[in-house]
Structure 1
């Protein structure tokens, strides 16, 4: 190899890789993140020394050179620089950007100008808008509900029912966005001269709802697209079948039965891994096989049709031009099956199955292999899994010829990430398993396919010119564009004009055409998806009697399941209510068992204290009321064993605070003194709390699981008499025990 080629290869290998994330430590291996960087900053002392060295300049009123440099540095715009490290050499370059590219223009529209009044005029309420009353006045018990069949609903006649039969039950369903608001302003500026006849937001939403309704009913009358599985045969379908019968298929297209996935070759799918058809090339792929995380609404295009639909692309690893493509890390194209079966390749993101990486890992010997099926030395081939066989073939050639390709027990995610321990098996036609069908016919079809492709490339230009001439005649009767965008007929413009005439909008003829064009572009922005979701009940008419019975049985089962689910939900609510009641009871029982004095204070002292006149007098003052509540809160939150003593201390502190308060009136102090005497009387005449714990221990015992009822009173009595239940009792002890139990 010449030195020039070696230099070119070295530069090409060390170039940046697209869509590949790398850590900065990969580029700076010896970088210490904890190392302190020295920073040199000029001090004020240095500047003063510089000024002292030039006293004449100051006398003459001139600025010193240092001050000039500082002033120039402050006034001049900051220049950003970048460091470029290449071949272990560091260079510093200024970043010079065009101001037109980085300067942001101020928006002429303010946020306040985009916000309009939420109230809708009464003239538009008959079209389905809400009333002008705010929604806060809604009451489910007082606000009446109005159904379509009620008489009150027919008080406002529908003026659009005479325009079209599909607008008899018209209701506004379209909700405009900011883009629509800007377009309305544009139309009002160029089409309408009188500000009183401007196109309002409500009229715009009504027109868009009318167009959506008309297209919904018109689309039902458009003949559906005939698939290859249909019994009705057309010229295109017959040509597709003939092409499949003559040359086979490496992407699943042309099958008479269900079209399989172009990656794995299987036709089974479920809700979590559905088969998606490309609206551009009709290729079918599983979500998992192609990396379709979310199925979009309306039109879906594969990567090739989305990026390079009108250009012919070549796979980097095989000669086939059909199938499911994804881009590599360098921007070239490759089949997904090629990225899965070539051992050195892998996908950077296994969820989205892109980009294909590992091209530099493919050895040169693989690029030099010649496919024994197509006889071409193109791309990278794989070889037969038989150790004694050296037959090489492209992955797509193997799929078209029907060779044995098995992923084994590995999933697509494991194969895409090139995980260790993969066992992918691919055999040539001579070493295929015994139960595998014969592949000689498929090999001949593959060879005929590439032979026909080479011969047809010469006449491709002539055929394209003929197709271009015929396309001018076909577009006249088309209802949608190639991307599935509806083409609004002239009838839509007439209906839109009649709707605008109802509201007396100026220049309705030009506005109707503009609105139809805007509606088509809005549908194109959503890839043909409807702007308003509608339920189509007529779709059930295509079912047979057996299918309808199955649907009814499934609906009945679903209804029974919903009823059972509601019953289970009510039982769960009831169970949780009982559990809450049980937990509260357990907490109350534990509180009584651990601190019975608190219950005594609350029942025998506080309730009696509430009926005392002095207490009611103190509760009328906010300061005394808050102070008493604070003391009681401290009492009930405490875990002190001597609760009666704590209550006495807290109450004495409360009364002493009132007595020492200089701002308290004489009447408040007198009533506090009376209440203090009353509280002491209740404490002295109350229940003897010293025996409460002993009484509770006779009948109950507390464990980790909770409070349990004592089976008999012998154990606490024996503990009280200091008796051990393991030793035999004497006659005297037996008499004492029976006497205590009797």
Structure 2
């Protein structure tokens, strides 16, 4: 008797091919592809008229066919198609105001705002609006750019309003209307927000970094690493060296040192993070440099710690995520930024769920085992201590991503599993990303346990009232900003009623906006700029840079001259070698010159490749490969020997090979046109070298050269200089 559940039968779904891939016999049973079709000709029409005149389809049917069945079929088909079209949904349209309609209703800003960076969208010519697309002016004129931010720079409005700002301005205007004050404009609001952002930037440069208890911070990191693991290398014991946040190794050398960030205390190799030169002073990672004290989310994983770099569209991502996701790449491998290729990541990768953190966030990688499809984030694998190996280092991983190998906990190599607790690491990672734990950790961040009396005493102190930021990290606007904003309005002749009240409302709104966005509202400058320098110091640095630029250009010219000198020296040395061979080994020089001419004509390497399958040695004919080898090894002692081998091969090719073959065209056409002249010149050169006293000249050269001073023009003259008889001989040999 069979027990248990019955076995389910496998139901195979019928595969249905698309219509264009289906044979026509499945739709038309009675249609035979071999049948001959009848052709009917319209009588009474010339060929040109039947070809070029356009005839309606119904008239052509009436003329071609007298059968009513065809006409009935066509009419029935039309009615059927019409019924199908009537059942389909028809598109509906509604008119939406475009940018042109909105711009027509806008008023041109006043000249007071235009000098602050606003642009008139209406053309002054002929009373018509300009059709050209507006583009921002050169950002080099702005104050908030790298290397050009100074306190007394020309002010330019950089803030752009959104829908929320529009509602806030309308709310302010309602309040002002109740008090009988004039409404404010959108331009005034954007100007105020830009001014507050710039003032906050200058204050941040003056504020010292917050004092931290380094020992307490290290103990807290060690405890957190033991409880939840670490994906950035922090939290190791004092006896151990902190590992790199990218490659997870702590070995280094003088050319690839480990650098610590003075902001977030992560450790990275120079090659892993793109640090060609270590600065003398403090060094900040890219996230601490651009977005200080802000938790940035990675675009490909849920982690907020580690070594970050920016993508080409302004988002943030881990360097380790960019390395392990195959579709991503680093545009500049020297500086390891920006991260590009986000559009190449397939949709299926974005839909994968990490089996470690149980989250469907970002893009996951998968186990390298062919039969395993487990997906996990790169940072989750690092926190869980899974197998992540760079076979050829960081540079090899950038050049070839197939050198990256990773395995899940089930397929981890045995050697790795013996020294790393992957199962325990997975549990720590899941605990770290659990919802209740995230809420508790966010509440306990930077919290100091104090009693209620001490807390009351601290909140009543004067320093608490003058704090620089809220409990969520948003900056608090000091009264100095409000006063400066009022002075700015007066300076730019932006008259507004109730200026103090308006400045206070905008300052409060700016604080709330910063608290919600957790980032600057305009494009902030790079903190490594020259804002702390005076105009004279900046000008002095520019002068030094211009001198360095001139020196570099001079070095470029010197390098080009050195290259030309090397080329001329090489050509001169080649000529000296040729002359030496011509004088000391004239016969070999003649043979080699003829052989080199033959090889120069063989541009397609026909001699070495042709006639390889035929036995030419039995017929006493040398092959092309044998001739080439003898020429290269200088085995031809006389020119006539080389000529005989070439002619034997030519006679064989003319007799046995077709005229269209490559070797026939080479030996009969290309070489045949010039061989008589080349043979004659080479034999004449060889005979001339044998008939002249070249051996006597060589013997005299071995005895040494003696020189003496002459009074004519202070030149050195050789006692054994070649006589007038020898000079024409040398010239004739060279020719």
TM-score tier after normalising by the smaller chain length: 0.3 to 0.5
Q: State the TM-score, normalizing by the size of structure 2.
A: 0.37
Q: State the TM-score, normalizing by the size of structure 1.
A: 0.37
